[in-house]
């Protein structure tokens, strides 16, 4: 479990329960199409995105000029420690962020799909509440870390499905709603009789499965998973991840998966972005990040997980502790903890730049051509491209 | 588990058992059933060694730690502290607490938020008999041992001013300042940031190696157990199902539950490994009769549903509570005794 220093998790968790949904329906979404808009396979495109907590002089920058994007049916992993801004980023993109969180700039374009009239694209940052209600749950849904606080504790599981379907699928009859809920539970491996239970009667794993089923109720195109398995033990985690990927293979939704567990992410994501102190420090394919990290922080994170094989050797992890966002170090935020820090790192912030001849980026002066220093060997390894783990085919019940 | 280089046993637990009686929901008013939270657990905590207890939530590992700290009274069983049997049903004494200290999972919840660290550290010292004049120096020394420099700065800070990693170090310092012989650490790193976890693990290992503390390290993270422990115990539903010295339990898991646990850990270096079926959907996860893992076990036999297996020897200093190794045991013993004899001839 992690505690978000800003308490965002708590705030949002109280906002999301199905019971809180409005029961009126909304008209079709008015798509806002930009001039340069064609998104094609891209489902989400976030640019220059910044989020503050608070206003004026006391504002703390929680997300700083972040670019992320993902394509249909792919998995984007966001890795980072508590306070790195990973949860804030997705809450802001989905506009679930509450005061004192404020979006300070940037755009987040979401591709709703293509029909005869062309592409329907919505700019989430500038969308009205009405437009957002049309997108939330039916196009973008979210699974939160703590299922116990995200499910309504005084309402039976079945009614929580019922309420979602009632407000978003007006044409469904009571029986249809019930059978849809039962089908959803079956998808996550639970019996229909769980619909008559209250959340506290279920185990942690069962509750998290119900959260996943709820998120999939309206066939979303994008599912955001905020540390969905952090509170569970590894065996349950393994099983839920397996089920999740089976479902993704069937339904084809894209996923943003947030976790501090980089080894888990390496197994399941297509692309990973690593966040530190509100900024992206590295972006690479999962395999490349694991086998050939470029940023010293990514390398440190990977070395923080004791291995399951081989000789036991003393690992050092990363010295120091994550910075206070209100008093960020000058230059590169990571420099006080970085074993490779140079004079330049203390006063100039490195930009996130693409590494020449690859489709990955890193924000570190070591990798800037004119740095005039040799890149250490552990930060210049070449990925061999081993077969990627596919949980959908691995899991057997 | 005999080893010539082993230090003295500081705390020994014999057949510790704790049952809780709970009301069964939906039954008659008086229907109660017994939850066997910890059942017949024996272990030795030896000076200069880390014993890791690994298990999922509900496996009884925290109840075990609390029994060893004597916060929870065992239903039955014995505790022996430095060779002296303890009257387990009586109230915990100050003398016991001065030898056995517990560090909890959540460092934010285990410090009084309205007091400075100096209060949090000096109070146990004063209670355990340090004079008012000596106490501050002892507190500073304890903070130095957990690498919090300069100690004076930390003594003056409030819990909210410190990070999780620093606070957990203060909790360890608080446990250490009265110089106990046994440290019980219940999930000490699970609430910490990933990048500071190793620092705390290395600190525990250092305390064990340099100060000859006997440490019980309770965790759900088997990789960290492998990293730090001299011996590893796996618990399932209140029982020890497998234990080994060194890492053989992780390298060659024998019990089907341990095999499942090991395979479930995310391991990008081996992405194509086989993960056995988890059996998490079994209607009853813990059997009342026979082996407790039998409803989830992929290798279940008739015998497993009827009889509870004893711990069989499956390797050198490695036992597994599973019927699969019933016939295997004799073979292993022969192999081991041969190896021992060969070792003896080689040394003489």
CB-nearest to A237 from B263, B264, B268 is: B264
Q: What value does the CA radius of gyration of chain A take, rounded to a whole number of Å?
A: 21
What average pLDDT does this structure show over A243-268? 90
Q: Give the residue on B whose Cα is nearest the Cα of A260.
A: B194
User: For A200-247, what is each residue's pLDDT tens digit?
Assistant: 888 888 888 999 999 999 999 999 999 888 878 888 888 888 888 889
Residue B84 and residue B254: Cα distance in Å, rounded?
35
**CA atoms within a 13 Å half-sphere pointing along the CA-CB vector of B1:** 20
Q: Tell whether B268 is covered by a domain.
A: no
**pLDDT value at residue A228:** 87
The shortest CB-CB distance from A321 to any of B193, B265, B266 is to B193
Which residues are within 8 A (CB) of B98 and not within 5 positions of it... i.e. 6 or more apart?
B128, B178, B179, B180
Interval A82-127: pLDDT, tens: 888 898 999 999 998 888 899 999 999 998 887 777 788 899 999 9
Between chains, do B193 and A260 touch, taking CB under 8 Å as contact?
yes
CB B240 within 8 A of CB B41: yes
Q: Which residues contact A65 (CB under 8 A, 6 or more apart)?
A: A48, A49, A50, A106, A279
For position B67, what pLDDT does the model report? Answer: 95
**Touching check for A308 and chain B: CB below 8 Å?**
yes
CB distance A315–B280 less than 8 Å? no
- For chain B, the domain total comes to 1
- Edge to edge, the sheet with strand A42-53 lists A60-71, A42-53, A101-115, A118-123
Bridge partners (DSSP) listed for residue A49: A66
For A260-279, letters b (16+ CB in 10 Å) and e give bbbbbbbbbbbbbbbbbbbb
Q: In sequence order, which residues have a C-beta less than 8 Å from that of residue B42 and are 6 or more positions away?
A: B12, B13, B14, B15, B16, B240
Question: For position A10, what pLDDT does the model report?
Answer: 39
The rounded distance, in Å, linking the Cα atoms of B103 and B188 is 7
**pLDDT one-digit tens code per residue, A262-312:** 889 998 899 999 999 999 999 999 999 999 999 999 999 998 989 888 888
Q: Is residue B27 part of a domain?
A: yes
pLDDT of A20 reads: 35
* B206 domain-assigned: yes
Give the mean model confidence (pLDDT) for residues A8-23: 37
Q: Write down the pLDDT at residue A277.
A: 92
Non-local CB neighbours of B108 within 8 Å, separated by 6+ positions = A3, B159, B164, B167, B191
The larger pLDDT score, comparing residue A32 to residue B335, is at: B335
Percent of chain A that is helix, strand, coil (3-state, to 5): 35, 20, 45
Judging contacts by C-beta atoms under 8 Å, the chain B residues touching residue A305 are 194, 223
Work out the percent of chain A whose per-residue pLDDT is above 90. 42
Is B223's CB within 8 Å of A306's CB?
yes
- Give the gap in angstroms from C-alpha B137 to the nearest C-alpha of chain A: 25
Question: What does pTM read for this prediction?
Answer: 0.84
| pLDDT more than 90, % of chain B | 61
pLDDT for position B329 = 67
The residue segments making up the domain with residue B187 are 3-258
H or E stretch at A342: none
In sequence order, which residues have a C-beta less than 8 Å from that of residue B341 and are 6 or more positions away? Answer: none
What CATH number did the domain enclosing B62 receive? 3.40.50.300
pLDDT at A24 over 80: no
The burial class, CB within 10 Å (0-12 / 13-18 / 19+), for B317 is middle
Best to test chain A binding among B58, B234, B246, B266 (most A CBs inside 10 Å): B266
Question: Does B166 contact chain A (CB < 8 Å)?
Answer: yes
pLDDT at B230: 95
pLDDT at residue number A350:
92
Using an 8 Å CB-CB cutoff, list chain A residues near B108: 3
In the stretch 337-356 of chain A, residues with CB closer than 8 A to chain B read: 337
Q: What residues 205-224 of chain A have any CB closer than 8 A to a CB of chain B?
A: 205
* Residue at B275 is within a domain: no
Residue to test with chain A: of B203, B280, B281, B296, most A Cβ within 10 A: B280
Nearest alpha carbon to residue B41 among B173, B198, B239, B335 = B239
Tell whether A233 is within 8 A of chain B (Cβ). yes
Residue B197 CA to residue B188 CA, distance in Å, equals 9
Local structure of A359: helix, strand or coil = coil
User: Using CB atoms, which residue from B56, B195, B266 is nearest to A300?
Assistant: B195
Closest partner residue to B227 among A201, A312, A388, by Cβ? A312
Whether residue A321 and residue B264 make contact (CB cut-off 8 A), yes or no, is no
Q: Is residue B310 part of a domain?
A: no
Q: In the prediction, which pLDDT does B282 show?
A: 57
pLDDT 10s digits, B295-343: 888 888 999 999 999 999 998 899 999 999 988 766 666 666 666 666 6
- CB of A204 within 8 Å of a chain B CB? The answer is yes
pLDDT digits (tens, 9 = 90+) for B135-192: 999 999 999 989 888 888 899 999 988 888 889 999 999 999 999 999 999 999 988 8
Q: B278 contacts in A (CB within 8 Å)?
A: 235-236, 238-239, 397
Q: Please indicate whether, in this complex, the C-beta atoms of A235 and B196 are within 8 angstroms of each other.
A: no
Give the dihedral sign, CA B32/B33/B37/B41.
Answer: positive
Cβ-defined contact of B250 to A308 (cutoff 8 Å): yes
Please tell me which of the candidates B199, B202, B265 has its beta carbon nearest to residue A308: B265
**Candidates A1, A187, A190, A234, partner chain B, best to mutate (most B CBs within 10 A):** A234
Collect all residues of chain B within an 8 Å Cβ-Cβ radius of residue A82. Answer: 193
- Surface of A (154-193) touching B: CB under 8 A: 189
B162 shares contact with chain A (CB less than 8 Å): no
Which of B93, B73, B74, B75 has the alpha carbon at shortest distance from B84?
Answer: B93
A178 burial level (CB within 10 Å; 0-12, 13-18, 19+): middle
Is the pLDDT assigned to residue A161 strictly greater than 90? Answer: yes
B334: contact with A, CB 8 A cutoff: no
Q: Give A102→chain B minimum CA distance, Å.
A: 25
List Cβ neighbours of B286 (8 Å cut-off, separation of 6 or more): B237, B292, B295
Q: Which member of A308, A387, A395 has the closest CB to residue B275?
A: A395
Residue window 253-292, chain A: list those with CB within 8 Å of chain B. 260-264, 266-267, 290
Nearest to B266 among A3, A263, A322 (CB): A263
Largest Cα–Cα separation, chain A: 70
Does residue B45 lie in a domain region?
A: yes
Cβ proximity of B148 and B120 under 8 Å: no
User: What is the model's pLDDT at position A46?
Assistant: 94
Q: What is the pLDDT of residue B252?
A: 92
3-state secondary structure B156-207: CCCHHHCCHHHHHHHHHHHHHCCCCCEEEEECCCCCCCHHHHHHHHHHHHHH
Q: Is B322 inside any structural domain?
A: no
CB nearest to A1's CB, from B191, B197, B250: B191
pLDDT at A183: 93
B86 located within any domain: yes
| B192 near A CB under 8 A | no
The answer, for B26 touching chain A at a CB cutoff of 8 Å, is no
How confident is the model over B159-174, as pLDDT tens digits?
Answer: 988 888 889 999 999 9
Contacts of A125 (CB under 8 A, 6+ apart): A95, A103, A106, A107, A108
């Amino acid at each position: 479990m992690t505690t978000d220093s800003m308490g965002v998790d708590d705030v949002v968790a109280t906002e999301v329960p199905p019971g809180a949904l409005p029961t009126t329906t909304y008209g079709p979404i008015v798509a806002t199409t930009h001039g340069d808009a064609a998104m094609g396979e891209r489902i989400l495109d976030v640019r220059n995105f910044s989020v503050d907590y608070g206003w004026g002089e006391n504002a703390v920058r929680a997300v700083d000029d972040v670019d992320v994007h993902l394509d249909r049916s792919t998995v984007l992993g966001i890795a980072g420690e508590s306070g790195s801004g990973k949860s804030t980023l997705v809450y802001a993109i989905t506009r679930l962020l509450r005061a004192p969180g404020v979006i300070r700039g940037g755009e987040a374009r979401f591709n709703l799909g293509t029909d005869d009239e062309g592409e329907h694209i919505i700019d989430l940052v500038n969308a009205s509440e009405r437009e957002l209600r049309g997108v939330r749950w039916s196009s973008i849904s979210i699974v939160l870390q703590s299922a116990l606080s995200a499910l309504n504790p005084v309402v039976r599981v079945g009614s929580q499905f019922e309420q979602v379907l009632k407000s978003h699928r007006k044409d469904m009859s009571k029986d249809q709603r019930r059978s849809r809920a039962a089908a959803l539970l079956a998808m996550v491996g639970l019996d229909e009789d769980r619909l008559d239970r209250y959340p506290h009667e279920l185990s942690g794993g069962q509750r998290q499965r119900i959260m996943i089923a709820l998120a999939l109720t309206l066939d979303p195109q994008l599912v955001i998973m905020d540390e969905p398995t952090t509170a569970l033990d590894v065996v349950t985690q393994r099983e839920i991840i397996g089920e999740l990927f089976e479902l993704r293979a069937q339904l084809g939704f894209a996923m943003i998966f947030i976790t501090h567990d980089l080894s888990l992410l390496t197994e399941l994501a297509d692309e990973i972005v690593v966040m530190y102190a509100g900024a992206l420090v590295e972006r690479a394919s999962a395999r490349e990040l694991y086998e050939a990290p470029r940023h010293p922080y990514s390398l440190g994170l990977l070395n923080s997980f004791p291995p399951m094989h081989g000789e036991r050797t003393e690992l050092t992890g990363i010295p120091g502790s994550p910075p206070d966002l209100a008093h960020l170090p000058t230059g590169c935020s990571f420099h006080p903890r970085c074993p490779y820090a140079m004079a330049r790192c203390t006063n100039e912030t490195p930009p996130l730049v693409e590494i020449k001849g690859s489709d990955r980026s890193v924000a570190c002066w070591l990798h800037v051509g004119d740095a005039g220093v040799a890149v250490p060997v552990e930060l210049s390894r070449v990925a061999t491209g081993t077969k990627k783990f596919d949980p959908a085919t691995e899991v057997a019940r | 588990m005999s080893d010539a280089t082993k230090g003295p046993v500081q705390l020994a637990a014999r057949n510790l058992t704790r049952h809780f009686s709970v009301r069964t929901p939906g039954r008659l008013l008086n229907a109660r059933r017994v939850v066997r939270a910890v059942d017949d657990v024996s272990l030795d905590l030896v000076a200069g060694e880390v014993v890791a207890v690994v298990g999922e939530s509900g496996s009884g590992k925290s109840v075990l730690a609390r029994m060893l700290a004597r916060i929870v009274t065992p239903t039955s069983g014995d505790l022996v502290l430095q060779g002296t049997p303890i009257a387990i049903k009586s109230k915990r004494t100050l003398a016991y607490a001065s030898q056995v200290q517990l560090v909890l999972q959540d460092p934010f919840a285990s410090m009084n938020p309205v007091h400075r660290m100096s209060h949090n550290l000096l109070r146990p010292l004063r209670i355990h008999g340090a004079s008012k004049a000596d106490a501050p120096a002892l507190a500073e020394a304890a903070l130095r041992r957990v690498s919090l420099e300069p100690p004076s700065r930390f003594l003056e800070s409030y819990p909210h001013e410190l990070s999780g990693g620093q606070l957990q170090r203060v909790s360890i310092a608080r446990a250490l300042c009265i110089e106990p012989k046994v440290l019980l650490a219940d999930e000490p790193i699970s609430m910490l940031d990933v990048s500071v976890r190793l620092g705390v693990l290395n600190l525990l290992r250092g305390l064990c190696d340099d100060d000859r503390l006997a440490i019980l390290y309770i965790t759900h993270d088997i990789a960290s157990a492998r990293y730090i422990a001299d011996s590893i115990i796996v618990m399932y539903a209140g029982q020890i199902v497998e234990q080994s010295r060194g890492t053989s339990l992780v390298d060659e898991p024998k019990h089907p539950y341990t095999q499942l646990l090991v395979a479930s850990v995310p391991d990008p270096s081996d992405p194509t490994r086989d993960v056995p079926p988890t059996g998490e959907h079994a209607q009853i996860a813990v059997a009342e009769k026979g082996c407790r893992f039998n409803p989830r076990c992929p290798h279940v036999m008739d015998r497993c549903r009827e009889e509870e297996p004893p711990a069989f020897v499956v390797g050198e200093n490695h036992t597994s509570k599973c019927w699969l190794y019933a016939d295997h045991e004799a073979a292993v013993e022969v192999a081991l005794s041969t190896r021992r004899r060969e070792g003896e001839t080689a040394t003489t």
